[in-house]
Structure 1
Amino acid sequence: MTPQDRAQNQAQDVLAPPAKAAIFLTVTIRDGKEQEARDALADVAGVTRAIGFRIPEAALTCVVGIGAHAWDRMYAAARPDGLHPFRPLAGDKHVAVSTPGDLLFHVRADRPDLCFELGRQLMVLFAGLVDTVDEVHGFRYWDQRDLLGFVDGTESPTDAAESGPAALVGFEGSGDLTYAGASYVIVQKYLHDLDTWDRLSVEEQELVIGRKKLSDIELPDSVKPDDSHVELNTITDPDGTERDIVRDNMPFGAVGTGEFGTYFIGYAADPGVTEEMLRNMFLGRDPGKHDRILDFSTAVTGCLFFVPPADFLEDPEPFLAQPGSTAADGSLGIGRLAHSAGRSDHA
């Protein structure tokens, strides 16, 4: 089996195509309920299958992410290489906040009723174990546009040959192969000031984003500002290779209260790629030149999660018993091998 096959076979549904509806649930685990929450994670896949089996064409999936503090409490093992709490960023004008989150449930399907039912059953499964700190119901809007009116996620890779290396650990035989098929996901909820945005002309909006609004074609370099959203979210290696992440952003809103926004969710084999994008946005690639989209969109949440291979959720011990999986304090966690050697803590 090639590294690509191994990674894809072991992965959760990270690479599922964009759906028409989604629910993003972020929860914290109650003190003393860590073992019960760990046990409940083993049942998530079965609950998802039971609901999705009735309407298979709706492609119901659920991706589970685990936060750094939850990992420390539930598994007592060295964290995966890229797992750490979300790092807040304070620019001259805008802030990327870090907010609580132990577990992320990314539920998606082509029908909102399936998302709702799975979300409800997940809360039944984890009743008394967790507290919900954020819940967002997303929907596809027009022709893949966000509420600012621009197509969202144009550069997100869709072919497995491109999305696999971008999102999955070990896809090309590199990274921590103990967790081949894993991913890292960063989520942020952005609230839009649509009244101010709509006062801009279409041409002004296009300069903020870096694309034409109607055609979605990227502006020429001679026209595209260096503080545009597209420019600051383009990450390249020293050799010129462009680094990608897999996005599954969705709009959300409440018309009665006037709350409108975009839920950003980016999967990456290396969370450092997404973090570099965020540094460019909030701090500026050049001093004082933040992403202009932040003048109209405010990040009100920020979390980083590890998305383990699918089998890990049902039985983590074979993964935790690999060399390099000692507890953060240097002692052996449950089921760890005596010869394990600890990795560094990225907190």
Structure 2
Amino acid sequence: MANSTGDHPWHRVPIEPQSVDAPLSQAAVFLVVTVADSPDAAATAREVVSGISDLVKTVGFRDLGAHLSCNIGVGAGFWSRLTDAAPPTELHPFREVRGAVHTAVSTPGDLLFHIRAERGDFCFEFERQLLDALGNAVTVVDEVVGFRYFDARDLLGFVDGTANPTGSDMAAAAIVGDEDPAHAGGSYVVVQKYLHDLASWNRLPVSSQEDVIGRTKVENIELADVEHGQKAHKTLNTITDENGVEHDILRDNMPFGRPGHGEFGTYFIGYSRELWVIERMLERMFVGDPPGSHDRILDFSTAVTGTTFFVPTRGFLESLGD
């Protein structure tokens, strides 16, 4: 299926999403870069981005069972330098969310590369070749190597991503549709790097940890919502609109860490059909619902990055090389 409106190549690209719906992998790299302020740098980035499928094949053919993939997100500030296509309707830079106690910071980023595979060496080799191709056209502003931890748990010890939509619900939650025809098949994505104070967290009794998260730690059973006081993390991340319709997002979070450096964290990455859904989640977490009643997980987990991107279709990326 193709959109044949207009004369530009990007008007005629197939509506095939990138690998947004890929299952949770064993390994991942989250790479955020800025592109140098020159026409040559933008041209280099455009060439590399348009040929990303070939690079996946170049590295991935060694073991097809490794399921190497790479999703590319484009930031609002770089969109007009990458293409003359109108930007997605909701795309804008990450908006800082400042609560009474905690802040969701906004940090730079022109391109996001979400690299996934069942083998860490494939992620490594793909990133190495990718950065070689980009050269001095880009500056790496954040690089996180993630790993799957036991049965998809975070370093706080809880299962992460339980509420992810599946099947047709996944597309409805994460993939843009007819509301923005020029960008149908794409997805908004927000990334944040959280650093955990594990020492303080582990001093909490398990029952108190469960109250913070809203699920049991071992069995992953959802707990009832509290009627008074600070709401649990899972409650604050449940978004219902004015018509009572619940809106989901697709999370592909990964733990990361360097025990020798005392670094322990979770890399949050949320794909959404509608950017406002993630923004409302963050407002409820950092400002609170009601205001002043923030998500208690933030007392142990600090957001040190925050960036928004749009993940266009495969055909859109390929058309950039025309």
**TM-score, normalized by length of structure 2?**
0.92
Please point out which of 208, 215, 223 is paired with 1:219.
223
The 2-side partners of 1:135 and 1:26 are apart by 6
Q: Distance in 2 between matches of 1:262 and 1:113?
A: 21
- The count of aligned residue pairs is 311
Question: Helix, strand or coil: the match of 1:251?
Answer: strand
Letter in 2 for 1:192: H
Which of the numbers 102, 105, 116 marks the counterpart of 1:108? 116
Question: How far, CA to CA, are the matches of 1:194 and 1:284 in structure 2?
Answer: 23
1:86 aligns with 2:90: no
Equivalent residue runs for 1:151-162 within 5 Å? 151-159=159-167, 161-162=168-169
Measured at CA, do residues 152 and 294 of structure 1 come closer, stay the same or move farther in structure 2, by a change above 3 Å? same
Q: Look up the equivalent residue of 1:168 and give its one-letter code.
A: I
Q: Distance in 1 between matches of 2:293 and 2:56?
A: 44
Which of residues 142, 154, 173 in structure 2 aligns to 1:146?
154
- The answer to whether the aligner puts 1:18 opposite 2:50 as a matched pair is no
Cα distance in 2 for residues equivalent to 1:280 and 1:260: 24
Residue 179 (structure 1) aligned with residue 183 (structure 2): yes
Q: 2:197 aligns with which of 188, 193, 214?
A: 193
Q: Structure 2 CA distance, aligned partners of 1:127 and 1:31?
A: 14
Structure 2 residue matching 1:306: 3-state secondary structure = strand
Query: Using the alignment, how far apart are the partners of 2:229 and 2:257 within structure 1?
Result: 29
Give the corresponding residue for 1:329.
none
Offset at residue 167 of structure 1 (A)? 0.6
Matched, 1:164 2:171: yes
Cα distance between partner residues in 1 of 2:35 and 2:66: 30
Contact in 1 for aligned 2:225/2:231 (Cα 8 Å): no
* 2:282 is equivalent to residue 278 of structure 1: yes
Taking a change above 3 Å as real, the CA distance of residues 239 and 43 of structure 1, as seen in their structure-2 partners, is same
Structure 1 runs (4+) greater than 3 angstroms displaced: 222-226
Taking a change above 3 Å as real, the CA distance of residues 197 and 74 of structure 1, as seen in their structure-2 partners, is same
Change (3 A) 1:110 1:124: same
- Among 25, 49, 59, which residue is 2:57 paired with? 49
Out of 306-315 and 31-40, give the one that drifted further.
31-40
Corresponding residue SS for 2:136: coil
Distance of 1:151 and 1:224 partners within structure 2 = 25
Give the partner amino acid of 2:24.
Answer: P
Is this contact kept in 2: 1:207–1:224, CA < 8 A?
no
Within-5 A mapping of 1:242-321? 242-316=246-320
SS at match of 2:59: helix
- Secondary structure of 1:25 counterpart: strand
Per-residue CA distance 1:115-174 (angstroms, 9 max, x = gap): 111011110110111010000000000111000000000001132x0100111111xxx2
Q: Which residue of 2 is the match for residue 120 of structure 1?
A: 128
Q: What residue is the counterpart of 1:64 in the other structure?
A: 72
Q: Assess if the C-alpha contact under 8 Å between 2:46 and 2:321 holds in 1.
A: no
TM-score by length of 1: 0.86
List gaps (5 residues or longer) in structure 1: 319-347
CA distance in 2 between counterparts of 1:298 and 1:202 reads 21
Corresponding residue for 1:99? Answer: 107
Q: Which residue of 1 aligns with 2:232?
A: 228
Distance 2:101 2:229 in 1: 18
Instruction: Report percent identity of matched pairs.
Output: 54
Contact 2:190 2:309 in 1 (8 A): yes
Query: Which range moved further: 231-240 or 208-217?
Result: 231-240
SS at structure 2 position matched to 1:69: helix
Structure 2 residue 36 is matched with structure 1 residue 30 = yes
User: Where in structure 2 are there 5+ consecutive unaligned residues?
Assistant: 4-12
Q: Residue type matched to 2:22 in 1?
A: A
Tell me, yes or no, if the aligned pair for 2:251 and 2:271 is still in contact at 8 Å: yes
Which deviations, in whole Å up to 9, do the C-alpha atoms of 1:245-300 show, x marking residues without a partner?
00000000001101000000000011110111000000112021010000000000
Q: Aligned Cα RMSD in Å? A: 1.9
> 2:50·2:320 contact (CA, 8 Å) conserved in 1?
no
Corresponding residue for residue 334 of structure 1: none
